[in-house]
Structure 1
Amino acid sequence: MRKRYLIAMLIACMASACTKTPEGDITSPSNNSPAGADASDQELLANTASDEQNESDFATDDAIPKVCVDKFTSSQPIVLDEEDDEVSKKGVFVKGTKWPKGKTLKVYFINGSDFLRNKVIFYARKWANHTTLHFVVTNKKSESNIRVGFKINKDHGSWSLLGTDAEKYKAYQTMNFGWFNKHTEDKEFSRTVVHEFGHAIGLGHEQLSPVADIPWDKPAVYDYYTGPPNNWTRKQVDHNIFDKYKKHDVRNTKFDPESIMQYPVPKEFTTDGSSIGYNYYLSDKDKKFIARVYPD
């Protein structure tokens, strides 16, 4: 009963890419590639389910906990200086991943129906409303900045590389959405797409801020994630749940539990019964913070 409840609570958890992954470091494009990525479109598409297959397994997908799976990069998290202003105290921005001011980010879709593509680009542009960035779709992979796939290699997770890290892997997929189909609700598109594109413009996970003070019940968390369907090792749980950004890499973050970059925490995972609900939209602090990162 407890397992079923936790699965229901975690069904909305976000998969993403920050600075860690169970699969290992992404340090050299010549030696490693992001999980779920192949060297060419031909190889990618050879391992990609058709749109019909993706949309017909909705019942199966609905039972899969949608939890965060972080991916290693060489980038380090950082935020704006404390003395700048109140806005700088919110959010986590990752050093070395910022796109140029006014950058038009070209998004290439490896696969996916028109319905899914349109939903993704629509919600990606929620960030553009508060920055100088722009998002456009391109049919040319060679000119793309962000390369999106749906359930590539049967990857049911959703994740993204961080900001300009995508430029280090021009031949590879840089973002995956693993549980979208024609039955997906708009608020779920919003929750997941806006979160992943937050990573794509350089934002880290809110709960991994060194000043985040979530009273984790570690035995309960280990018990859940080391069991099916995740079957993680304790080290993987540490990487994805407990390992905060180092204080010397981050300057002044104030924890924002309403941030789109924060995923839900069920009360069963805390020692005091506290919890964090589902965040489907940009918080006011998200909007102010990203406007500071990419100002007019």
Structure 2
Amino acid sequence: MADQDPLPIDASKFQRAADSPSPDDVPTPGLCGNQPNGGPYVPSKPETAATSTRAVIDMDRRWKNGTRLQVVFLTGDDAWGQAIRQAVRRIAVQWSDYANITFDFDQPAAHITVNLVPGSIPQLGWSVNWGSYNCFMGTDCLNMRKQFPSLPSMNLVFPPNLQNDPNLMDAEFSRVILHEFGHALGLIHEHQRPDRPIDWTPDVFSYYGAPPNNWSQQMVQEQIINAVQGGTLMGGAFDINSIMMYQYPQGLAAYKDGTPFVSPNNVILTPLDKVVVAMAYPVEGAPASNEQTLVPGEAARPGKIDVAGRVGRYKFQPQTEGVYTIATTGMPALVALLGKRDDPAGRMLAAEGANAKLTFRPKNVGQDYFVQVRHARPTKGTGDFQIAVTQVS
């Protein structure tokens, strides 16, 4: 997609990484709740409907790079179930444009099993209703099935009344399927990353404790408030537009500096969602380009991705304070900016497009910054591009 990532000029408040977790934070289960009554979308609340529009992965729950993940539908043989199955086959594979992972559907054996209908699953303590969406994290999908071979590792129980609004149905399919298969690849909730720059208010308990969610305080703690711990996490800057972020209205949280926190209803992958999974599941055997030095203000330098999965690597050093842009032209590209070479460390930004432009204010002048350029479909695409760094103010 050619949409530009709406990066803030001064991203410093999104880049504060906690040196150590709060003693109040406790580990969360390896399971996405994604709201038992339909996730961020609530049919009775029009304001939660999808609108057009970055990610953290638990490296300890990654599949082996290059795995062909076999997905089996346990239920959903009726017409509505077949429609959901077709949507899953069409949408989940978007992740394979960026991650070196393949999804195979309807195989005899399975890494991931999917339920599409309401019901009770007492072995897991689940009461699955219309609008129940959840998934175990990464390899936990298979670990759960070793204990309960016939049970689902993912629930995609879309309510049939979505068919009354085809546009909303398509948006919900995209939002939920991308989100849950993100979990299946090992991605955590964006709002539960340890370095999140937000604090929750007590109103979050009453908001999710009320209908239609009716969550207990424990559920709110586990699915929203508690930061994920225990795994080796890799991710970019905090991203309210990530497919892994819930939608939150104003009043439930605020940034550390007091700025109100609001997140939209995200239905597509962002550039950072894509870059993070491309780094976690790189194309095997794709040679990296030799790192080249860019000088702000100099003419654009030519680059080439001649092998699918190859990464163009650059570094530059801003010498004066101000606002800079990194711009590419030519092939559709994913452009990532890192404060440390090959290490997102909560400080990676990204932009995307045939004319990708990433605007930022460096926190430290006289320090090296690192740029990675991928084709916009890293596992498949090749092409030529031009890249330049410019100080704009």
- TM above 0.5: yes
Matched residue SS, 2:139:
helix
Could you tell me how far 1:285 is from its partner in structure 2? 0.7
Q: Is the 8 A contact 1:220 1:268 kept in 2?
A: yes
1:256 to 2:239 alignment = yes
Alignment of 1:97-246 (within 5 A): 97-112=61-76, 113-140=81-108, 143-153=109-119, 154-156=128-130, 157-170=132-145, 171=149, 172-181=151-160, 183=163, 185-216=169-200, 218-246=201-229
Single out whichever of 116-125 and 170-179 deviates more from structure 2: 170-179
For 2:264, the aligned partner's letter is G
Tell me the TM-score normalized by structure 1. 0.65
Could you tell me how far 1:180 is from its partner in structure 2? 4.3
Q: Distance in 2 between matches of 1:96 and 1:270?
A: 29
Q: Is the 8 A contact 1:131 1:294 kept in 2?
A: yes
Gaps of 5+ in 2: 1-26, 34-41, 49-53, 120-127, 284-393
Matched residue SS, 1:268:
coil
Would you tell me which structure has more helix in proportion to its own residues? 1
Gaps of 5+ in 1: 1-18, 27-33, 36-60, 68-89
Matched residue SS, 1:158:
strand
Q: Distance in 2 between matches of 1:245 and 1:221?
A: 18
Alignment of 1:41-120 (within 5 A): 62-63=43-44, 91-112=55-76, 113-120=81-88
Matched residue SS, 1:106:
strand
Tell me the TM-score normalized by structure 2. 0.50
Q: Distance in 2 between matches of 1:110 and 1:292?
A: 32
Change (3 A) 1:107 1:240: same
Pair member with larger Rg:
2
Q: Distance in 2 between matches of 1:251 and 1:281?
A: 20
Q: Distance in 2 between matches of 1:255 and 1:209?
A: 8
Q: Distance in 2 between matches of 1:196 and 1:252?
A: 18
Q: Is the 8 A contact 1:92 1:203 kept in 2?
A: yes
Would you tell me which structure has more strand in proportion to its own residues? 2
Could you tell me how far 1:275 is from its partner in structure 2? 0.7
Q: Distance in 2 between matches of 1:135 and 1:98?
A: 15
Could you tell me how far 1:219 is from its partner in structure 2? 2.2
For 1:168, the aligned partner's letter is N
Identity of aligned residues (%): 29
Could you tell me how far 1:242 is from its partner in structure 2? 0.8
Change (3 A) 1:109 1:96: same
Q: Distance in 2 between matches of 1:249 and 1:95?
A: 5
Could you tell me how far 1:178 is from its partner in structure 2? 2.4
Could you tell me how far 1:274 is from its partner in structure 2? 3.1
Change (3 A) 1:164 1:247: closer
1:285 to 2:264 alignment = no
Q: Pick one of 13, 18, 28 that aligns with 1:20.
A: 28
Aligned residues: 217
Could you tell me how far 1:124 is from its partner in structure 2? 0.5
Single out whichever of 101-110 and 238-247 deviates more from structure 2: 238-247
Q: Distance in 2 between matches of 1:288 and 1:233?
A: 35
Could you tell me how far 1:270 is from its partner in structure 2? 3.2
Q: Distance in 2 between matches of 1:198 and 1:286?
A: 9
Change (3 A) 1:208 1:155: same
Change (3 A) 1:277 1:149: same
Change (3 A) 1:100 1:256: same
Could you tell me how far 1:252 is from its partner in structure 2? 6.5
For 2:184, the aligned partner's letter is A
Q: Distance in 2 between matches of 1:282 and 1:62?
A: 23
Q: Is the 8 A contact 2:28 2:227 kept in 1?
A: no
For 1:286, the aligned partner's letter is D
Q: Is the 8 A contact 1:110 1:147 kept in 2?
A: yes
RMSD of equivalent CA atoms: 2.8
Change (3 A) 1:230 1:134: same
Single out whichever of 149-158 and 179-188 deviates more from structure 2: 179-188
